[in-house]
Amino acid sequence: MKQTGENYEEISTEDLKRLSKQAEKEAAPSAGRIIWNEFKADRPALIALVIVVAFILFVVIASLFINTSKMMETNILDYFDAPFKDGFLLGADAGGRSIAQQLIVGSRNSIGIALGLTVISSTFGIAWGLISGYFGGFVDWGMQRVYDFMMMLPMTMMIIVIVTIINNYNAVTLTLIFSCFYWLGTSRLIRSRTLAESKKDYVAASITSGTNPWKIIFREVMPNISSLIIVDTTLSFAENIGVETGLSYLGFGLPAQTPSLGTLIANANDPNNITEYWWTWFPAALEIIILCLAISYIGQVARRAADSSQRKSNK
């Protein structure tokens, strides 16, 4: 098997290093570089990225300095304080609790749950879709029947029922409960792309090269649907912020003593609050709109970066 080598003159190690270096200079830019170039070429997207990252950092760090149980104590004297009164930057709610502080802690909780939910459900959905689509046949058939069964269940109702049955839950268990249901859409999307991708000859070439199926799935096929994965994950992150918020708004999300964007927006349930005490719900609503818009904008840039034909930057 050494045959090939002996027919061509030996190359020394120094030559090899030199040649490699020379080749590396000519190399195409790495994925990280491409995404960064794409952000630099698109000003609004860069701003969106800065807003989202800075906001998350601020919320996480600032919430460390807030004593949550003290913050949630009722203080009748500050009943519906308007913004800038009594040192309340964004006013206070019916319990005299600082809206600004609740917003910070609530944002951390909501974003944390959305992030956790996105990581867990996307990872699971992607793996499910890849495996189902790549292997096909009986594996696919079985996995799709599980999918169909899960689809049949009324999701929101199931979550509400589970949350009602388990009376002792916190942010982590809530995230896990959500995750059981939110991988479905991702898995279907990934499966259909994997079906198409697996038919391409580079997969056949990998099989004849002796690469094992798992490696083909996660190292060959997955990188080729990365643009889909990135876009789907960013968009589900934006969507997942709405999941917890929506349920908390309905009163089935986090327990009442744990603030979240949803519980803040729930202040709008009272018709008085909507017009007269707008500061109790408006900042949270505005925050969600801005966050979701910024995140989907980032998703679009990531898609462009992943898909070479759509790039704006010419690098």
Partner 1 sequence: MSLIEINNLKVHYPIRSGFFNRVTDSVKAVDGISFNIEKGQTYGLVGESGSGKSTTGKSVVGLEKVTSGSILYNGVDITSEKNRKKLNYNRDVQMIFQDSLSSLNPRKRIEDIIAEPLRNFEHLSKNEEKMRVLRLLDIVGLSVDALYQYPHQFSGGQRQRIGIARAVATNPKLIVADEPVSALDLSVQAQVLNFMKKIQREFGITYLFISHDLGVVRHMCNNIAIMNKGRLVEVGSRDDIYNHPLHIYTKRLLAAIPQIDVDHREEHREKRLQIEKIYQEQSSKYYDQNGLAYPLVKVSSMHSVALPPQEAKKYSEKEVEV
Q: Which residues bind partner 1 (CB under 8 A)?
A: 1, 3-5, 7-8, 11, 13, 16, 19-20, 22-24, 26-28, 200-202, 204-211, 220, 223-224, 226, 308
Q: How far is the CB of 233 from partner 1 (least distance, A)?
A: 18
Residues with Cβ within 8 Å of 307's Cβ and at least 6 positions away in sequence, in order, are 227
The rounded distance, in Å, linking the Cα atoms of 176 and 120 is 8
How far apart CA 79 and CA 91 sit, in angstroms, is: 9
DSSP 3-state assignment of 92? strand
Closer residue to partner 1 (CB): 34 or 92 = 34
Q: How far apart are CA 236 and CA 253, in angstroms?
A: 18
CB of 227: closest distance to partner 1 in angstroms?
11
Is the separation of the CB atoms in 150 and 88 below 8 Å? no
Q: Least distance in Å: CB of 146 to partner 1?
A: 17
- CB 126, min distance to partner 1, A: 16
Choose between 79 and 202: whose C-beta lies nearer to partner 1. 202
Asked whether the beta carbons of 130 and 217 are under 8 A apart, the reply is yes
Distance separating alpha carbons of residues 294 and 51, to the nearest angstrom:
8
Nearer to partner 1, 231 or 295 (CB): 231
Q: Which is nearer to partner 1, 27 or 76 (CB)?
A: 27
Find, among 223, 298, 238, the residue nearest to 118 by Cα: 238
Minimum CB separation of residue 104 from partner 1 in Å reads: 41
Q: 21 vs 43, which CB is nearer to partner 1?
A: 21
